[in-house]
């Protein structure tokens, strides 16, 4: 167990194993997102109330899922970095933050576009919209704090602490629907309970969610590898790697 963790913590080992894992995740992400998109946009039945506009759900919901999951992932990586001083965890946390911020923005934007046909407005001060906006600010704060320090190690540790502090915001987002229910419909999609939508609508959504997660994992692996090469550029194995490929 401990040997495994130590191995995982070594950038060189991680660089090797991620090279083998990454193509699988890319392939799964491409397949799932392609199939989910085609099924969701072309074959799933239109909603009896919202018509075709409901199809934005196939981008909106996976992005919102990812936006929240990435923050938890970033905070967990920060915790691992703070407790065991595993550098790879910090590199992963560093590359996750911009992706999470982008996903939060995608969820907010697609929600606004969806709001026009359903609610007749781009923005309402509803609990979940507001919490997503707060999440975006939290991401920006973590990214800004990491960049503000002159020494990279201090920035990494400060960003880890802030991510762990910010993760208390995630339950607030999750339960905000129950706290101040306003205009937003209650969550229509959960993995644990039976779906309230018909299967033909729900199955492509599940594919899209899984596809987005695979995309996130693949992209994080790829960007962590780049980060490893950048930070470890003085190490012998990286230089050997560079000479090999020349």
Residues making contact with other proteins (CB under 8 A): 82, 134, 137-138, 140-141, 144-145, 148-151, 153-155, 157-158, 161-162, 164-166, 168-169, 172, 180
Exposure pattern of 183-222 as b/e (b: 16+ CB <10 Å)?
ebeeeebeeeeeeeeeeebbbbbbbbbbbbbbbbbbbbbb
- Alpha-carbon distance 139 to 117, whole Å? 29
Distance, in Å, from the CA atom of 214 to the CA atom of 125, rounded to the nearest integer, reads: 32
Q: What is the distance of C-alpha 59 from the center of its chain?
A: 13
Residue 154 or 226: which CB sits closer to other proteins?
154
Contact residues for 171 (Cβ-Cβ < 8 A; gap 6+): none
Q: Which is nearer to other proteins, 121 or 154 (CB)?
A: 154
**C-alpha span between 81 and 224 (Å, rounded):** 14
Residue 166 Cβ vs other proteins, minimum distance, rounded to whole Å: 7
Closest CB to other proteins among residues 55, 157: 157
Q: CA dihedral in degrees (180, 185, 188, 192; nearest 10)?
A: 20
Q: How far is the CB of 197 from other proteins (least distance, A)?
A: 31
Minimum CB separation of residue 145 from other proteins in Å reads 6
CB nearer to other proteins: give 102 or 206.
102
Smallest distance, Å, CB 70 to other proteins?
Answer: 16
CB of 148 to other proteins, least distance (A): 5
Cβ nearer to other proteins, comparing 120 with 171: 171
In angstroms, give the least distance from the CB of 48 to other proteins: 35
* Nearest to other proteins of 9, 155 (CB atom): 155
């Amino acid at each position: 167990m401990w040997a495994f963790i130590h191995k995982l913590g070594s950038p060189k080992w991680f660089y090797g194993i991620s090279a083998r894992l990454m193509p699988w995740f890319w392939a799964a992400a491409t397949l799932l997102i392609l199939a989910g998109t085609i099924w969701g946009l072309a074959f799933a039945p239109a909603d009896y109330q919202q018509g075709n506009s409901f199809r934005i759900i196939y981008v909106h919901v996976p992005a919102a899922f990812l936006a929240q999951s990435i923050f938890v992932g970033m905070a967990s990586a920060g915790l691992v970095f703070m407790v065991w001083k595993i550098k790879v965890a910090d590199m992963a946390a560093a590359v996750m933050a911009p992706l999470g911020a982008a996903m939060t923005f995608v969820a907010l934007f697609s929600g606004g576009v969806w709001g026009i046909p359903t609610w007749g407005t781009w923005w309402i001060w509803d609990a979940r919209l507001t919490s997503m906006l707060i999440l975006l600010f939290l991401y920006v704060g973590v990214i800004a704090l990491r960049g503000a320090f002159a020494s990279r190690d201090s920035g990494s540790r400060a960003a880890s602490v802030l991510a762990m502090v910010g993760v208390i915001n995630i339950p607030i987002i999750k339960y905000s629907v129950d706290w101040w229910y306003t205009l937003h419909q209650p969550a229509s999609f959960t993995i644990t309970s039976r779906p309230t939508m018909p299967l033909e609508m729900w199955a492509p959504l599940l594919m899209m969610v899984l596809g987005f997660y695979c995309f996130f994992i693949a992209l994080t692996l790829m960007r962590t590898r780049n980060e490893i090469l950048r930070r470890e550029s003085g190490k012998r194995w990286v230089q050997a790697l560079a000479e090999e490929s020349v």
